Chain A
Amino acid sequence: MKINGSYTVPIPRDQAYKLLQDPAILAKCMPGTDHLEKIGEDEYEMKMKMAIASFSGLFTGKVKIADAHPPDSFTLLVEGSGKVGFLKGSGLLNLTPQEGATEVKYEGDVQVGGTIAAVGQRLLESTSKMIIKKFFEKFSEAASQQTT
């Protein structure tokens, strides 16, 4: 499944770049995640409790940052698995300055498997959009708090 889109966060690019790679911030903004454990250079282990309406699932997985080109772009690799299925995704994030704010463009590919892929087909794309939207909403909020 291809995903792409963009979101504008209300902080300058250098700061946005830094915060988008800050494990504490990422943990705060990823839905259902409260902690990222560093397991290597730019690589973290996570536990994520996803809950959308009555759906709930516990995932364990990894987040990795690669191809870092500060402050323009980096690739985020995420993989997680749980009893209801697994997901594996990579996304290229491009940051463009915009008058004190930053436009973050993302473009990536997500593989979903297991029960969620077999029975959630109808809602998969909308769900990923919603999760990404939630992430950036929280991120903007967290970023604003950092600056104030």
Chain B
Amino acid sequence: MATTTITKTEKLVGKAMRRQEDPRLITGSATYVDDIQMPGMHHACILRSPHGAANIKSVDISAALAHPGVAAVYVGKDTEKVGPVPCGASLPGLRVPHHYILAIDRVYFIGHPVAVVVATDKYIARDAVDLIEVEYETLQAVTDPEKAIAAGAPPVHPEWPDNVAFNYHQEGGDVDAAFAAAEVVVKQRITSQRLIPSSMETRGVVADYNTGDKALTIWSSTQIPHLMRTLVAQMLGAPEHKVRVVTPEVGGGFGSKLNVYAEEALMGFVAMKLGHPVKWIESRRENCMCTIHGRGHVDYFEVAAKKDGTILGIKLKLIQDLGAYHQLLTPAIPTLSVLMMPGLYRCQNVRADIVGAFTNAVPTDAYRGAGRPEATHGIERMVDILAAELNMDPAEIRLKNFIHNDEFPYATGTGLSYDSGNYAAPLHKAMDLVGYHNLRDEQKKARGEGRLMGIGLSTYGEICAFGPSPATPAGGWESATVKIEPSGMVTVMTGSSPHGQGEETTFAQITADELGVGIDDVIVLHGDTAIVQYGIGTFGSRGTAVGGTAVYFALQELKKKIKKYGAMLLESEDVSFSDGVCVCNKSGKTVTLAEIAGASHRAMKLPPGTQPGMVETYFWEPPNFAFPFGAHAVVTEVNRETGDIEIKRYVAVDDCGNIINPLIVAGQVHGGVVQGLGQALWEQAVYDDNGQLVTGEFMDYAIPRASMIPWIETEHTTTPSPVNPLGVKGVGEAGTIGCSPAVVNSVVDALSTLGIRHIDMPMTPEKIWNLMEGGRA
């Protein structure tokens, strides 16, 4: 038996280490949902609505059923009792349409599932879908949220003709007094367009029902295996303990897999009906049409200020494009925007009104940043607009309004408590890195030459590490179990469900340091409800801050037990444990972790009141969120002839508290910035007036490619979070949140000499060209 004999003293936390999960990902030996093969496996293909809104007059499945190889065809009536697709968010007066897993008599968005064909292979299933005849009576659709809530709009749900799902109001301080006292008020309509999350792996489900055990196993590409188990069991009316959810490798989620979709319950239903395992793999077209979209905001901002730039009050009217239904967190997402609307600024007087608008489109929900990119984009644009109005430098106005270092924890006007911060530090660092003051001189020179050069800043704060349970829909804690095997090898089981965040590495780093073992002596397991204790999952930049902290606390418990066994073996009360060795402080005698682990399992003798074995589980409830922050600086040049935008420099300085693995943090920032650039410059989900998604494929939906991305310079400041003992804050979404306002601010700065004050995203060359043509006139 291999045992841990080499103890180590090198600390791994803080070290840039390559990811433990990468060899299998790079060599193709990872298992994704579509890699799962089972004897007797059937394949499902879903017929979806080609209309944005229509009544279903009839569905004729006879030809499909008669097609050789087809095992079953189910329509809405067959699955009426399954579900509904759950909405986990609750708001006062929220209208929740019953979300059937297959449409019954009306379709509400393009791609709405209408029927499912199950066949012996996926080719037959696809062919048979074409044999189903559906007679639709098309209805007028509405896809623009502002048009949807205007008088006379066609109703998405006939029972609520105003298309309003909810109104939400939040207020802090004295907004009216602030605006009455204002020396200047700036107003702007700012949109954050609908985006398609576009994970590399689309969604996929395999379901297998064991008729003897009456037990259902579901493999799903998800971020939340345990929550899915609870919710799918509810949808199917199956006992939860006989439902197992396995999350194999997940090829990206970005929030789009922080959900429970119709297909998980549908495949469970099919497997239970047929008694065969069944697989459904989402096509890219389905992914574009039927997996949640992100953003979809129209924001009307007003900022009141003094002439010296002091911000006095902020008003926001937010129209959220919800789509036709609520998915898991749909209506909650804009409330996060409201929480973060004051950004990093000392402004207590805030008022927000949200209108949740139903539209004939796929629901919006959490997408990298989930509500915070929209908030940051809004406030950071408004601060630049205010600076322009007052002829102030955008850096100066930010520094003037930042919450001071001695004010933490800081209670915001929106009811949050910012944990710790040093907001000027990353801004100064970003300005130094980019050479801000020299750039302003360069800009003067460029303008003299007729070139359109822009310098943009954004300073962002985000609410992360979700979060205290009272503030979350389904529990905000996280769990960890740490086991030391008889050989001394270490197994960590986390309730987090990493899918690209590298937690198999960062959690192993934490564990290796605490136990004094090598990183290869640790394995991190996750994503199988039959193996791992109940957990919440990975989203909202919570993996390390909450899940990592649970691991840390489980390790502390385990170390107590290690010391008890060490004391017994060393026959001394005065022992200490570090670097994988228990030492008697008097005699200097030692016993290794492997020896202790072996002894605890052989259990020839037990310390008093101690159980055999070496396992501890910890469920950690965070007392607060954590609030990372940072500053991005972007230099752009706009081509006067074509409107093309060139990014000359991109500097991101993030403060995510203590850093476990700088390589992974850099990767997260890079990926986040790329998705931010996607929104700022290229991506938009476009529906036409009839509810057709005209960007239904990557031929028209422009996700960023490597060749389109500038060099990204990253740096950090470090302000540990007091919320957790690791001092970490979260970094998964930071890049996205800081990016879009910095890029837009930069381009608006470039065009400011033409009188341009605001540009909505994506800033396509044609849009810029039109502005320049108009600006010149």
Contact = CB atoms under 8 A, between A and B. Distances in A.
Q: Decide if A and B touch, CB cutoff 8 A.
A: yes
- Of A83, A117, A122, most buried by chain B (CB within 10 Å of CB) is A117
A59 B289 CA distance: 23
B241 interface: no
Nearest to B129: A83
B693 A118 contact: yes
Interface in B664-701: 688, 690, 692-697, 699-700
B396 interface: no
A86 interface: yes
Interface stretch (A3-11, A33-41, A107-115): A107-115
Contact of A119 (B50, B110, B690, B697): B697
A121 B694 contact: yes
A93 to B, nearest CB: 23
A122 B699 contact: yes
B285 to A, nearest CB: 7
Chain B interface residue number, banded? 10 to 19
Interface in A59-95: 83, 85-86
Interface string A98-130: 000000000000011111011101100000000
B664 to A, nearest CB: 36
B51 interface: yes
A119 B698 CA distance: 9
Contact of A118 (B51, B130, B696): B696
Q: Can you list the 7 inter-chain pairs with the closest CB atoms, starting with the nearest?
A: A118-B696, A114-B50, A117-B692, A119-B697, A121-B694, A121-B700, A113-B692
Contact of A111 (B285, B690, B693): B690
B694 A118 contact: yes
Contacts of A122: 699-700
Interface string B100-132: 000000000010000000000000000000100
A25 B688 CA distance: 34
Interface in B624-655: none
A119 B284 CA distance: 11
Interface residues of A, number: 13
- Of A83, A112, A119, most buried by chain B (CB within 10 Å of CB) is A119
Nearest to B698: A119
Contacts, number: 43
A8 B172 CA distance: 68
Contact of B285 (A85, A112, A119): A119
- Of A85, A111, A117, A121, most buried by chain B (CB within 10 Å of CB) is A121
Interface string B417-457: 00000000000000000000000000000000000000000
Nearest to A81: B50
Given A83-B130, A86-B50, A113-B50, A118 B690 contact: no
15 contacts: A111-B690, A111-B692, A112-B692, A113-B51, A113-B110, A113-B690, A117-B692, A118-B288, A118-B289, A118-B696, A119-B696, A119-B697, A121-B699, A122-B699, A122-B700
Contacts of B289: 118
Interface of B: 50-51, 110, 130, 285, 288-289, 688, 690, 692-697, 699-700
Given A85-B50, A122-B699, A122-B700, A117 B130 contact: no
B52 to A, nearest CB: 8
Nearest to A118: B696
Contacts of A119: 285, 696-697, 699-700
A112 to B, nearest CB: 7
A85 B696 CA distance: 13
Given A83-B130, A85-B50, A113-B50, A118 B285 contact: yes
Contacts of A85: 50
Contacts of B130: 83
A134 B688 CA distance: 27
B697 A118 contact: yes
A85 B252 CA distance: 31
Given A111-B690, A115-B696, 4 more contacts: A114-B50, A114-B692, A118-B696, A119-B700
Nearest to B690: A111
Contacts of B690: 111, 113
A86 B697 CA distance: 18
A117 B688 contact: yes
A114 B694 CA distance: 9
Contacts of A117: 688, 692, 694, 696
Nearest to A119: B697
Contacts of A111: 688, 690, 692
A115 B51 CA distance: 11
B50 A121 contact: no
Contacts of B700: 119, 121-122
A119 B696 CA distance: 6
A117 B693 CA distance: 8
Contacts of A114: 50, 692
A122 B698 CA distance: 12
Contacts of B699: 119, 121-122
A114 B285 CA distance: 11
Contacts of B110: 113, 118
A63 B289 CA distance: 31
A111 B694 CA distance: 12
B232 to A, nearest CB: 29
A115 B283 CA distance: 13
B51 A121 contact: no
A118 B111 CA distance: 11
A91 B328 CA distance: 44
Nearest to B697: A119
Contacts of A121: 694-696, 699-700
A117 B51 CA distance: 11
Contacts of B692: 111-114, 117-118
Nearest to B692: A117
Nearest to A124: B694
A117 B690 CA distance: 11
Contacts of A83: 130
Nearest to B52: A113
